[in-house]
């Protein structure tokens, strides 16, 4: 009798602790979601008035950013962000894809075990260190050593630094995508007499296409959102970028540089810059998620028989 | 109509593999350079 009562008490206690843990987890999840929702609401509340005041077209399409005169045209910063992001992909995509192919397909297991953590370590380097190295080495090289001319602080410098910074993202996600391709695809291709490279380009890369595209888009997101390294090497001049060697200012840099002294409509315009950035980031992440989750093309069942 | 191939499949394999390894070496080289640069500059000042 005593035994049964004790067991019942134990079961009741277990149920209670399950319920407590379940509620705590639900509370934690809701807290995270509601914090994000509150941040979004706050940014929208602060930024939307200035967009509607000036009109979205003027705000996004004007090239004049002069807060002291009440002019808030974001186009130079949008163009600067686009140029720097595109440049980062030009630098980072070939290197990243090549790195992923090497590590997933070509490297022996020992080399992979050694190289993959090293490349992942790149993601752990603080962005201010990248910016510091850009200022110390890259900017003087562009200004003097490379005979390219210009002030050195430029879209080119920012693109190269960002190109290096997006490498771990592109390599990491691409490796996952390449490793997810079934071994049988490779075996089938090799059995038909294709070389390893033909197998990679003709079979593995097309099968991993979705994951690789997602990697590139997430790399783009990383480049768009980067602030510190870009501020340190991009020059931050508010001007429409007419050359890759010209100084540019990105959306993130615009917020970081001016928020400390902004007030009134100026501060609202910076929040509106945040809204633009927020939309760009959400869109890129949404596209990456969709592409990554898209149904993969399956090999026909009778492929082996054919 | 197929395009005439500049290189044989085996030669393409060799060239491509070399290029892939070169790109990976460049990536790792950048990492080592960053770490080395920060350590050499920083350590000398610390001492």
In 3D space, the residue among A223, A121, A211 whose CA is nearest the CA of residue A173 turns out to be: A211
Identify the segments of chain A with pLDDT beneath 70.
1, 146-147, 295-306
A128 Cβ under 8 Å from any chain B Cβ: no
Are A156 and A139 a contacting pair, CB within 8 Å?
Answer: no
In 3D space, the residue among A88, A62, A125 whose CA is nearest the CA of residue A234 turns out to be: A88
What is the 8-class DSSP label of residue A300? P
Give the residue with greater pLDDT, B10 vs A185: A185
Q: CB under 8 Å to A150, separation ≥6 — which residues?
A: A142, A143, A243, A245, A246
H helices within chain A, ranges in order?
A: 2-54, 56-61, 75-101, 109-124, 127-133, 139-140, 155-165, 167-179, 183-191, 196-199, 205-207, 209-225, 228-233, 251-258, 265-293
Are A157 and A87 a contacting pair, CB within 8 Å?
Answer: no
Q: Cα–Cα–Cα angle for A261, A264, A267, nearest 5°?
A: 55
pLDDT at A305: 41
Q: CB under 8 Å to A121, separation ≥6 — which residues?
A: B31
- Which of B24, B26, B32 has the most A C-beta neighbours within 10 Å, making it the best mutation to test the interface with A? B24
pLDDT at A15: 84
pLDDT at A12: 83
Q: CB under 8 Å to A209, separation ≥6 — which residues?
A: none
B15: nearest CA in chain A?
A: A197
pLDDT at A249: 94
* CA gap A275, A59 in Å, rounded: 12
* CA gap A256, A151 in Å, rounded: 22
Residue-wise pLDDT tens digits, A154-200? 999 999 999 999 999 999 999 999 999 999 999 999 999 999 999 99
A112-135 per-residue burial string, b: 16 or more CB within 10 A, e: under 16: beebbeebeebeebebeebbbbbb
CB nearest to B20's CB, from A101, A115, A195: A101
Give the residue with greater pLDDT, A8 vs B28: B28
For chain A, what is the radius of gyration of the CA atoms?
Answer: 25
Instruction: Please report residues of A whose CB lies closer than 8 A to that of B10.
Output: 195
* CA gap A284, A305 in Å, rounded: 41
- Which of A95, A96, A163 has the most B C-beta neighbours within 10 Å, making it the best mutation to test the interface with B? A95
Question: Inter-chain contact A133–B13, Cβ cutoff 8 Å?
Answer: no
pLDDT-derived band at B9 (thresholds 50, 70, 90) equals confident
**Rounded to 5 degrees, what are φ and ψ at A66?**
-140, 85
Question: Inter-chain contact B21–A102, Cβ cutoff 8 Å?
Answer: yes
Are A249 and A76 a contacting pair, CB within 8 Å?
Answer: yes
Q: How far is B10 from chain A (nearest CA, A)?
A: 7
Q: How far is A76 from chain B (nearest CA, A)?
A: 31
Q: How far is B3 from chain A (nearest CA, A)?
A: 16
The token duo for B25 is 């070496």
B30: nearest CA in chain A?
A: A164
Are A72 and A50 a contacting pair, CB within 8 Å?
Answer: yes
Please give the full DSSP string across A51-93, using - where no structure is assigned.
Answer: HHHH-HHHHHH---EEGGGTEE--HHHHHHHHHHHHHHHHHHH
Give the B-side interface with A, CB within 8 Å.
Answer: 9-10, 12-13, 16-17, 19-24, 26-28, 30-31, 34-35, 37-38
Question: Inter-chain contact A99–B23, Cβ cutoff 8 Å?
Answer: yes
In 3D space, the residue among A129, A151, A131 whose CA is nearest the CA of residue A142 turns out to be: A151
pLDDT at A275: 94
C-alpha A140: how far from chain center: 27
Q: CB under 8 Å to A136, separation ≥6 — which residues?
A: B37
pLDDT-derived band at B4 (thresholds 50, 70, 90) equals low
Where on the phi/psi map is residue A250: left (φ > 0), alpha (ψ -120 to 50), or beta? beta
* CA gap A152, A233 in Å, rounded: 8
Q: How many CB pairs under 8 A join A and B?
A: 65
């Amino acid at each position: 009798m005593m035994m049964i009562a004790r067991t019942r008490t134990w079961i009741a206690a277990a149920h209670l602790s399950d319920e407590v843990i379940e509620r705590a987890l639900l509370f934690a999840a809701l807290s995270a979601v509601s914090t994000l929702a509150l941040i979004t609401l706050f940014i929208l509340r602060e930024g939307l008035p200035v967009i509607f005041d000036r009109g979205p077209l003027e705000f996004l399409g004007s090239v004049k950013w002069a807060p002291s005169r009440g002019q808030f045209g974001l186009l130079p910063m949008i163009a600067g962000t686009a140029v720097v992001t595109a440049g980062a992909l030009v630098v980072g995509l070939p290197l990243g894809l090549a790195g992923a192919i090497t590590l997933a397909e070509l490297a022996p297991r020992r080399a992979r075990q050694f190289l993959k953590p090293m490349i992942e370590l790149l993601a752990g380097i603080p962005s201010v260190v990248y910016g510091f190295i850009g200022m110390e080495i890259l900017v003087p090289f562009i200004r003097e050593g490379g005979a390219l001319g210009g002030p050195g602080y430029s879209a080119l410098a920012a693109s190269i630094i960002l190109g290096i910074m997006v490498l771990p993202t592109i390599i990491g996600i691409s490796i996952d995508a390449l490793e997810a391709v079934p071994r049988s695809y490779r075996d089938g291709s090799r059995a038909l007499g294709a070389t390893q490279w033909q197998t990679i380009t003709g079979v593995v890369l097309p099968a991993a296409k979705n994951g690789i595209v997602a990697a590139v888009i997430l790399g783009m997101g990383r480049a768009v959102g980067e602030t510190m390294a870009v501020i340190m090497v991009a020059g931050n001049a508010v001007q429409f970028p007419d050359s890759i060697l010209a100084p540019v200012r990105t959306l993130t840099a615009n917020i970081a540089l001016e928020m400390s002294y902004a007030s009134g409509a100026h501060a609202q315009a910076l929040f509106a810059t945040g809204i633009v950035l927020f939309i760009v980031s959400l869109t890129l992440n949404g596209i990456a998620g969709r592409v990554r989750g898209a149904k993969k093309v399956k090999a026909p069942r009778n492929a082996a028989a054919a | 109509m197929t395009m005439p191939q500049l290189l044989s499949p085996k030669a393409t394999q060799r060239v491509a593999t070399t290029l892939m390894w070169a790109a990976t070496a460049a990536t790792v080289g950048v990492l080592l350079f960053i770490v080395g640069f920060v350590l050499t500059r920083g350590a000398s000042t610390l001492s």
